[in-house]
Amino acid sequence: MSLLLAVDVGNTNVVLGIFDLAQGPDAPLVCSWRLATSRERTVDEYGLSALALMRHQGIEAKQIKHVAISCVVPPLHPVLMSWARNYFGVDAFYVEPGVKTGVKVLIDNPSELGADRLVNAVAGIEKFGAPLIIVDFGTATSYDVVNAKQEYLGGLISPGLKISAEALFQRASRLPRVEIAEPERLVGKNTIQAMQSGIFYGYVGMVEGILRRLLEECPGSKVAATGGLARVIAPHCPLINHIAPDLTLDGLRILWFRNQGGRK
């Protein structure tokens, strides 16, 4: 079995996904896992964690023939490149400037664009077509806009839901930490319920407001949501048409085939 290990490194989580290359460019995701992102973790710590997760699913290191990486944490770049060589015996395909994407980037400095946002745009166009708006609910919440010509126009970045809630906990000493989840009712009957409702529906309202303005500027666009909190927030935003939690992993698969898949 020839497998592709796709690795999406964000500021909060490292997401690992397995694709069976024998099924071709449209191979579905076989399985995935999440690790906490740590700049202090060594090559061996990442390696042993990955091997343990894979063996739990009956996957051995020798079955991994290729590794594709998207990373927004620069200090981890050399760690992950060494990890791919030491544990899987391959030179990883790394998403960076110069990679063939098929998407023209129309921002002031294309090299500034985060790898995850570019990968999401590639996968979103492939899965949903264009024009398209992608909302990525991660450490930050990003909004990326692709026009009908499949050109990346730019986007917006706002504090993520967890960051927003953490700021409230830290700055209001009498308010406790609460679970971030859909509240039972809009009007809270106690402090915890009131906080849950305000945090949750306040964030939903922000997302809806930004999307409404984007759709006025980019009429006819589909809206797709991804990221760790997509399943929590997106069902409460009627303007979001698609929920695709694994969009970045799919984008890594697509880019690997575009750049490496035809080489022997």
In the chain, the percentage of residues whose pLDDT exceeds 90 is: 78
Widest distance between CA atoms in the chain: 64
What are the pLDDT digits (tens) for 94-120? 998 889 999 999 999 998 899 999 999
Instruction: Judge whether residue 17 has pLDDT over 50.
Output: yes
The yes-or-no answer on residue 116 being catalytic is yes
What are the pLDDT digits (tens) for 180-217? 778 888 998 888 888 889 999 999 999 999 999 999 99
User: Which domains, and CATH codes, for the chain?
Assistant: 3-94 (3.30.420.40), 104-248 (3.30.420.40)
CA 186 to CA 196: how far, in whole Å?
Answer: 9
Measure CA 95 to chain center. Answer: 14
Instruction: Judge whether residue 263 has pLDDT over 60.
Output: no
CA 169 to CA 175: how far, in whole Å?
Answer: 6
What are the pLDDT digits (tens) for 139-168? 899 999 999 999 999 999 999 998 888 888
| pTM for the model | 0.90
Across the range 14-33, mean pLDDT stands at 94
Catalytic residue among 8, 26, 108, 116: 116
What are the pLDDT digits (tens) for 225-252? 999 899 999 999 999 999 999 999 999 9
- pLDDT class of 38 with cuts at 50, 70, 90: very high
Tokens of 143: 């909004």
Instruction: Judge whether residue 32 has pLDDT over 80.
Output: yes
CA 135 to CA 138: how far, in whole Å?
Answer: 9
